[in-house]
Structure formats: structure tokens, C-alpha cells
């Protein structure tokens, strides 16, 4: 199980978090990111001029692009260099498919952005905050990359902030030098690299402007934007979520007044960060809840003896059935919903099973790993000494790709001629009655395959519908 920052640094959790430091998990992806709009509102001394620094940085890029007369001239290459960000600081933020180090912006992506910026300038727009909106119209740019970009621009501020809090909390540090400037920073014991703290006030869970689906959130108050898009694209407003970034980019560059409108709306939007009190994503609690549940409800796997390639599926099945019991009979269902009664994202129960299963696996010489891209919802149970693994996929019954996900697994079974038995579990958490027809459709597929003696992934249905309290019942 990955460890929280406070545990690694041997600081009491309450004392650590009371300082407003994000208590991230080491070497584990997060769904939170640095929101540029929140940087100036932290009230933290190290960041009092940070927003100005971001604006200054992007203003320099705009100046260089404007001075450039052709690609690869001295001004273009200088702008390219400033916009080619490496991976972000070691903040344990972001949701890169390949790990938690951040995704960065390479020279190819930077060049694409500069071409767009050049056209935007030619249309008469020269606002440095346009860089915070590039995720709307540029492929492969999401909130994690914007977050990395901001953290690199403000690297000195983040290092100074971390250094000060380490002094205040008496955290063991080591001397690191960056650009000949010494910093005393905490260490990741696994890698020996330095760690960087991030203020919770600077974090957000909603994309800054990740894709067109997020634009209506800002543009809902602007009939002008809607009318313009209706005229240009001839579509209804609801259909705009399907617009590709490339198409949107084309529309915005051809209609710069719309881009100006979106820039204005972006600047006026509410500067509200992630609500850590409600913690809708469960970012700060999933591991604690999972570990606590497994301790209070132990699972004895000793009857299996050694975990082997022959019984690993059965073991995974038992763990998943136990998880079902924890949700349905031991109150774990309550945590699928936040304190406002809203259902947490599908990723939460995926992580919850990971936390529960991890403690059981550790005691039985069984490896457990998550898919690097947690969005797939897959956990892989593997025998420590052997090649066989069992994959567990978890989805809410409300997932629009519920049936498609099961069909994909069946396709894999059909293609692999060597598969003579099941090697995966499909766990569905039923969250309403509206999608029961989808579950029945999957059950029918299984029945049809059983008639032909064809293997299928094991199907487990978990009742995740929150019941009213006993008094209300």
C-alpha cells in the first residue's frame, strides 16, 4: 500500500494537514491539480507574487512569438525553449498514464501550441492567460500538464515553501542545489529524490479547461457564445460536448471574438478550489477506510495453503466476495457517498477494493497492482512466483460502457486460444435500478456461453444503493 506523505516524513497526520499541506500518497496518482487561478489567493508568503510571475513568464513567450518572422528563427526557438517544460516537480500530483512524475510538455506539443498562439496573435489577441486555456483546443493537454507547467514556472516558490514548513515541523531534510541555490528539502526514501509540498488552497479537482465539455460550465451565462456556435456549427448546445479539440480550435481561430468571450468568462469564473471537508473524490480517505475495514473484518486465506496459479482465481473471487459483504453488510456502502449524499466517482470504490485487498494479499504472498491508468478500473492479482494473473474490473451499473466493458473481456477470451478457464472478475456496483437491464444483458451473455462450455469472466453484483436510515424506513 502506498504511504501518505506525513507517514513517510514521520509527522502526525493532524499536525501535517493542519498546516494546509496536501497529504499526498507517495508514488501514487492523484486527481487533484494546481489551478493557476488559485495561486494568488493562497495568502501564503512564498506565493504572494506568484501569479505575477506566471503572467510575466507567458508575456515573455508572447513577445518572442510576436517577434518571430518564421519558424526556427532565434525568437521562435527561444519561445519554444520556454514552453518546452519537462516533468513537473515531485509533488505526487497529476494523472499520467505512466506514473506520478507528471507528463510535461515536449518540444512537439510546444511547437503546436506556438503555432496556435501565433494565429491567435494575428487575430488581435495578446493575453498571457490564453496559455491557461490551451487545454480547451490543444490535443494531449489536460489539467495535469497545466499543473506541471505552473509548478515549474514557480519552482523557486514551491521549494521555499517546502523548506520553511520542514523547518517548522522539524522534518529531516537533505541539501539540494538548483541553479546554484541551496534548498533543504525532504527526501523520498524509495528514490532518494527530494519531495515538494503543495498547499491545499491551490488545488482543484475540476479541469481548468480540459476539453469542450468544461466550456459550457463557464459559458452557461453567455447566450452570445451559444448563439455564435449555433450559427457556425448548426448544432444544438448539447451536441457541442462531442466536438473534437481540433474542430473547436478551427472554429475559435476563425472566430476570435468567441475566444475573447471565453477568455473573459474564464477570468470571471468563481475562484473556488477543492472542498477537502467534503472530499468528494475521497482522495484523503480511501486508503484509511479500506485498511480500517480490512482490520475490523479480517479474511483468512490460510485454507488455500500456498497461493498458486491453480487457485489464484478462487482467491481473487473470495476477496471480491468479501468486499461485496463489506459494502452490503458492514457499512462500507456509506463511504461510496460523500457527506452531501452525492455518489463519489467510480474510481473511489476501485481504490477502496485496492486498499482492502492489499492488506489481505500482503499476508498471503500475493502481489496486487493497479493499472497505471486508473480510469480502466482494473486491479491485477498476481502470484508472486509465477506468470499467471487475475484481473478484476470494477464499474458502477450507471457506467455507459458497462456492457461494452464486459464484451471487450469476452473478445479477449475468444482471441486467446490458450485460455481454458476464467482469469478475470467483472465486479458491478449497482447504484440504481435504471440500469438493471444492462446487468441482465451481461447475465444473458454468460448463460449463452455456459451452454457452449465457453469460459467467461466471473460476474459479481454488489448492491451499492444507499439505504435510508432505520428510523426513516
Instruction: For the chain, count helices (H), then strands (E).
Output: 17, 9
Does residue 414 share a domain with residue 290? yes
Question: For residue 403, is it left (φ>0), alpha (ψ between -120 and 50) or beta?
Answer: alpha
Asked if the model's pLDDT at residue 195 lies above 80, the reply is yes
> What mean pLDDT do residues 384-398 have?
79
Of 147-151, 211-215, 284-288, the range with the lowest mean pLDDT is 211-215
Asked if the model's pLDDT at residue 422 lies above 70, the reply is no
> What mean pLDDT do residues 262-284 have?
86
What percentage of the chain reaches a pLDDT higher than 90? 46
Domain contains 280: no
Question: Model confidence over 124-164: pLDDT tens digits?
Answer: 899 999 888 887 778 777 777 888 889 999 999 999 999 99
Q: Which three cell numbers stand for residue 172?
A: 529531516
> What pLDDT, on a 0 to 100 scale, did the predictor assign at position 166?
97
Q: Which three cell numbers stand for residue 162?
A: 517546502
Residue 342 lies in domain? 286-463
Q: Are 134 and 113 in contact (CB under 8 A)?
A: yes
Domain contains 108: yes
Asked if the model's pLDDT at residue 299 lies above 60, the reply is yes
> What mean pLDDT do residues 287-308 have?
86
Give exposure, 164-189, as e/b (b: 16+ Cβ within 10 Å).
ebbeebebebeeeeeeeeebbbbbbe
What is the tally of structural domains in the chain?
2
Domain contains 222: no
- For residues 94 and 353, the model is more confident at 353
Domain contains 264: no
Domain contains 473: no
Does residue 192 share a domain with residue 44? yes
Domain contains 357: yes
pTM summary value: 0.83
User: Which of 209, 238, 265 marks a domain boundary?
Assistant: 209
Does residue 452 share a domain with residue 340? yes
Does residue 292 share a domain with residue 189? no
Does residue 204 share a domain with residue 293? no
> What pLDDT, on a 0 to 100 scale, did the predictor assign at position 2?
79
Q: Which three cell numbers stand for residue 143?
A: 489539467
User: Which of 184, 209, 234 marks a domain boundary?
Assistant: 209
Does residue 168 share a domain with residue 40? yes
Question: For residue 242, is it left (φ>0), alpha (ψ between -120 and 50) or beta?
Answer: alpha
Domain contains 53: yes
pLDDT band at residue 414 under the 50/70/90 scheme: low
> What pLDDT, on a 0 to 100 scale, did the predictor assign at position 13?
94
> What mean pLDDT do residues 90-110 have?
62
Asked if the model's pLDDT at residue 56 lies above 80, the reply is yes
Does residue 142 share a domain with residue 28? yes
Domain contains 252: no
Does residue 297 share a domain with residue 200? no
pLDDT band at residue 10 under the 50/70/90 scheme: very high
DSSP string, 336-365: GB-TTSPBPPTHHHHHHHHHHHHHHHHTTT
> What pLDDT, on a 0 to 100 scale, did the predictor assign at position 237?
42
Mean pLDDT of the chain: 82
> What mean pLDDT do residues 237-256 have?
70
Does residue 82 share a domain with residue 204? yes
Does residue 205 share a domain with residue 317? no
Does residue 200 share a domain with residue 68? yes
Asked if the model's pLDDT at residue 78 lies above 60, the reply is yes
Does residue 302 share a domain with residue 425? yes
User: Which of 209, 235, 251 marks a domain boundary?
Assistant: 209
What percentage of the chain reaches a pLDDT higher than 70? 80
CB atoms within 10 A of CB 317: 18
Amino acid at each position: 500500500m502506498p504511504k501518505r506523505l506525513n507517514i513517510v516524513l514521520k509527522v502526525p497526520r493532524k499536525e501535517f494537514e493542519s498546516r494546509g499541506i496536501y497529504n499526498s500518497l507517495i508514488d501514487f496518482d492523484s486527481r487533484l491539480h494546481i489551478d493557476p487561478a488559485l495561486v494568488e489567493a493562497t495568502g501564503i508568503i512564498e506565493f504572494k507574487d506568484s501569479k505575477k510571475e506566471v503572467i510575466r513568464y507567458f508575456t515573455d513567450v508572447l513577445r518572442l512569438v510576436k517577434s518571430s518572422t518564421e519558424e526556427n528563427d532565434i525568437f521562435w526557438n527561444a519561445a519554444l525553449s520556454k514552453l518546452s517544460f519537462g516533468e513537473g516537480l515531485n509533488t505526487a500530483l497529476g494523472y499520467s498514464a505512466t506514473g506520478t512524475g507528471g507528463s510535461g510538455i515536449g518540444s512537439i506539443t510546444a511547437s503546436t501550441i506556438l503555432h496556435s498562439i501565433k494565429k491567435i496573435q494575428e487575430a488581435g489577441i495578446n493575453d498571457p492567460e490564453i496559455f491557461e486555456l490551451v487545454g480547451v483546443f490543444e490535443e494531449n493537454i489536460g489539467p495535469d500538464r497545466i499543473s506541471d507547467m505552473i509548478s515549474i514556472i514557480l519552482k523557486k516558490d514551491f521549494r521555499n515553501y517546502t523548506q520553511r514548513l520542514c523547518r517548522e515541523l522539524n522534518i529531516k531534510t537533505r541539501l539540494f542545489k538548483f541553479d546554484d541555490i541551496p534548498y533543504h528539502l525532504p527526501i523520498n526514501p524509495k528514490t532518494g529524490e527530494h519531495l515538494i509540498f503543495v498547499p491545499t488552497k491551490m488545488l482543484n479537482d475540476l479541469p481548468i479547461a480540459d476539453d469542450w465539455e468544461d466550456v459550457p460550465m463557464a459559458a452557461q451565462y453567455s447566450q452570445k457564445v451559444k448563439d455564435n456556435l449555433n450559427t457556425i456549427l448548426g448544432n444544438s448546445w448539447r451536441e457541442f460536448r462531442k466536438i473534437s479539440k481540433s474542430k473547436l480550435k478551427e472554429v475559435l481561430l476563425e472566430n476570435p471574438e468567441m475566444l475573447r468571450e471565453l477568455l473573459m468568462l474564464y477570468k470571471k469564473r468563481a475562484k473556488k478550489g477543492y472542498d477537502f471537508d467534503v472530499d468528494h473524490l475521497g482522495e484523503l480517505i480511501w486508503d484509511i477506510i479500506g485498511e480500517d475495514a480490512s482490520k475490523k473484518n479480517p479474511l483468512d486465506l490460510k485454507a488455500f495453503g500456498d497461493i498458486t496459479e491453480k487457485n489464484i482465481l478462487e482467491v481473487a473471487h473470495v476477496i471480491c466476495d468479501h468486499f461485496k459483504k463489506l459494502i452490503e453488510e458492514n457499512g462500507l456502502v456509506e463511504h461510496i457517498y460523500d457527506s452531501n449524499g452525492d455518489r463519489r466517482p467510480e474510481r473511489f470504490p476501485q481504490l477502496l477494493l485496492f486498499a482492502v485487498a492489499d492488506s489481505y494479499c500482503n499476508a498471503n504472498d500475493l502481489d496486487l497492482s493497479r493499472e497505471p491508468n486508473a480510469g480502466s478500473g482494473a486491479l491485477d492479482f498476481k502470484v508472486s512466483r509465477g506468470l499467471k494473473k487475475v484481473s478484476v474490473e470494477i464499474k458502477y451499473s450507471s457506467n455507459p460502457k458497462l456492457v461494452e466493458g464486459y464484451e471487450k473481456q469476452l473478445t479477449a477470451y475468444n482471441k486467446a486460444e490458450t485460455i481454458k478457464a476464467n482469469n478475470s472478475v467483472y465486479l458491478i456496483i449497482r447504484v440504481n435500478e435504471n440500469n438493471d437491464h444492462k446487468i441482465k444483458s451481461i447475465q444473458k451473455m454468460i448463460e449463452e456461453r455456459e451452454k457452449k462450455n465457453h469460459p467467461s469472466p466471473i460476474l459479481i453484483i454488489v448492491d451499492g444503493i444507499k439505504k435510508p436510515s432505520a428510523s426513516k424506513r
